[in-house]
Structure formats: C-alpha cells, structure tokens
C-alpha cells in the first residue's frame, strides 16, 4: 500500500474513532466523576454535553494536526518527486549534450557545448565534470603541436593564420564557456596546457592562476585579461598584444616566447633562475 493512501486511512480511522469516543464516552466519564453523588437528569445531561464539547474541541485539534501533517507529508513527497524528475531530465540533457560533442556537424557540436554550459549553471553538482569534459574537448580538438586534420601547421606565418573561431568555431565556443565557468569567484583554475590557442578570443577573461604551459598563444586576443599567477612556462606568445594584460606573479621560463620588444620582468613575470646560472 502506498504511503499517501496509508496516511489518509489513518486520518479517517482516527477521526471515526474520535467521533465514536465523543458520542459514547462522556456518559461514562460523567458517571465516574459523580460517583455516588446524586444529581438531576438535566444537570447530568449538561455535564455530558460539556464533556462532549471538550472532547470535540480536543478531537478537532487532533484532526487539524493530522491534516497538517498529511499536507506537509504530501508536499514533501511532491518535492521529492519533482527533484527526481528534474534530476532525470538533467541526466538526459547531460547525456545528449555529451553525445552532440562527437557529432559530425559543427553546429550540433557547438550546440552541445552551450547545452553543457546551461546544465553547469542549473546543476552545480555537474559543474566540475562539465569543466573537465570541455577541457578534454579543447585539448583533443586543438592540441599543440598540431596533430588533427584541419589544424594550421605550427610554422604557418602569423599574417596568414586564421582565427580560432574561423578554423574551429566549436573549440572557440568551448574556450568561451570555460572562461565563463572560471570567472570571478570560480573555485578552479583554467587548465589548458599544450593547446593550440593561436588567435583565440579571450578578451577580458579572469584567468588568474591558469595553466597555459607550453600552449600556443600567438596573436591570442587577451586585451584586459587577468593572467596573474598563471603558468606560462614554454608558452608561445609571439605577436600577442600584452600591453593591457595583467601578468603579476605569472611564472615563465627560458622556453617562453614573448612578443618583440616585450619585457616580461618589467610586467611582473617571475622567471626562476636555472640551476647553475
């Protein structure tokens, strides 16, 4: 028997038992209280009615309490059913979005990326997993050095290099979403090492502490981006405008390649001395 039906039956049985008690018990209660005291019929009837009134009030209070409990219980069940329904819908949307990432159509893949962003906003428990999926997507679809069909070769002249959005709009969409998910207040740091981010769009991004080690960032659009405390060891930033980029505490090394004329130390970049240097 389902619990809601059981609760209703308990309420009905309790109400019926209470009503029977109101009708049958008062005469016995009054006679017990009077003992051997002799009273007139009218006085006895009045006492019985008074007892019934008190019992009716008590019964009404009990019924109200049971009704309130039944209502609360029903609300709890409705909330749980709604939660389970939403969870099932989220799981279905999540699975469908992940499947779309492997679709042959570029538009479908981009739709999957943005669907995952929407789920991450609506379902915090899935946020970390979605971030990791999108990280893997960028690393797998835009590795550095280039290794996938359609990627520009590593030695392509910067003047001929198409933007990331032009050559791989799905990857740019994933980067956009990752930047937003790692925005101000984000608990995790963006981690896209060894990725081909040449001519990527990341203007105004908050990427403090990001791991971009050994990434290709030639001509990346970084105006107003916060890269403080980030890892830039081995990264290639040639041709990138770093004038409006915050780099205090960013860590680089001898393999980091900078735009012509750029002074990383003056910008606050930390370049640890090599052993024996």
Task: Tell me the average pLDDT across 61-83.
Answer: 76
* pLDDT, position 43: 78
- The yes-or-no verdict on residue 98 having pLDDT over 90 is yes
pTM of the model: 0.70
Confidence at residue 5, expressed as pLDDT on a 0 to 100 scale? 67
Interatomic CA distance for residues 211 and 227, integer angstroms = 10
Is 190:178 a contact under the CB 8 Å cutoff? Answer: yes
**Residue whose entry in the numeric block shows the structure tokens 């329904």:** 85
57-61, 220-224, 252-256: least confident range: 57-61
Q: Above pLDDT 90, what percent of the chain?
A: 57
pLDDT for position 51: 72
**pLDDT given at position 1:** 52
pLDDT at position 137 is 97
Mean pLDDT of 132-138: 96
The predicted structure's pLDDT at residue 194: 97
Tell me the per-residue pLDDT of 186-232, one tens digit each, with 9 for 90 and over.
556 899 999 999 999 999 999 999 999 999 999 999 999 999 999 99
Structure tokens at 254: 């001898």
Domain boundaries, the chain: 3-89, 127-277
Query: What is the average pLDDT score of the chain?
Result: 85
Distance CA 54, CA 66 (A): 18
The pLDDT of residue 260: 95
Dig out the tokens for 162 from the structure.
Answer: 């198409």
pLDDT band at 262 (very low <50, low <70, confident <90, very high): very high
Q: Are 201 and 172 in contact (CB under 8 A)?
A: yes
Q: What is the pLDDT of residue 48?
A: 74
Structure tokens at 259: 């735009």
For domain 127-277, give its CATH number from 1.20.1050, 1.10.1060, 2.160.20, 3.10.590. Answer: 2.160.20
How far is Cα 23 from Cα 12, in angstroms, rounded to an integer?
17
Q: What is the pLDDT of residues 5-58, one digit of tens each?
A: 666 676 677 667 766 676 666 676 666 666 666 667 777 778 777 777 877 787
């Amino acid at each position: 028997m389902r619990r809601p039906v059981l609760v209703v039956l308990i309420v009905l049985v309790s109400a019926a038992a209470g009503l029977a008690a109101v009708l049958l018990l008062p005469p016995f209660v009054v006679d017990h209280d009077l003992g051997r005291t002799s009273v007139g019929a009218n006085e006895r009837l009045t006492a019985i009615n008074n007892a019934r009134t008190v019992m009716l009030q008590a019964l009404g209070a009990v019924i109200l309490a049971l009704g309130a409990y039944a209502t609360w219980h029903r609300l709890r069940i409705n909330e749980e059913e709604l939660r389970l329904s939403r969870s099932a819908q989220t799981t279905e949307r999540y699975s469908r979005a992940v499947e779309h990432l492997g679709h042959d159509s570029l538009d479908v893949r981009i739709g999957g990326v943005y669907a995952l962003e929407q789920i991450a906003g609506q379902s915090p428990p899935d946020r970390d997993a979605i971030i990791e999926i999108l990280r893997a997507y960028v690393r797998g679809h835009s590795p550095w050095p280039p290794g996938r069909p359609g990627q520009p070769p590593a030695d392509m002249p910067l003047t001929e290099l198409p933007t990331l959005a032009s050559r791989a709009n799905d990857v740019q969409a994933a980067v956009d979403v990752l930047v937003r998910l790692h925005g101000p207040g984000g608990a995790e740091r963006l981690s896209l090492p060894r990725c081909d981010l040449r001519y990527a769009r990341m203007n105004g991004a908050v990427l403090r502490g990001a791991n971009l080690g050994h990434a290709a960032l030639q001509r990346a659009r970084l105006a107003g981006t916060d890269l403080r405390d980030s890892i830039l060891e081995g990264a290639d930033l040639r041709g990138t405008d770093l004038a409006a980029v915050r780099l205090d505490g960013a860590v680089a090394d001898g393999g980091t390649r900078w735009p012509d004329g750029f002074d990383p130390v003056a910008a606050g970049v930390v370049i640890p001395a090599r052993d024996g240097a």
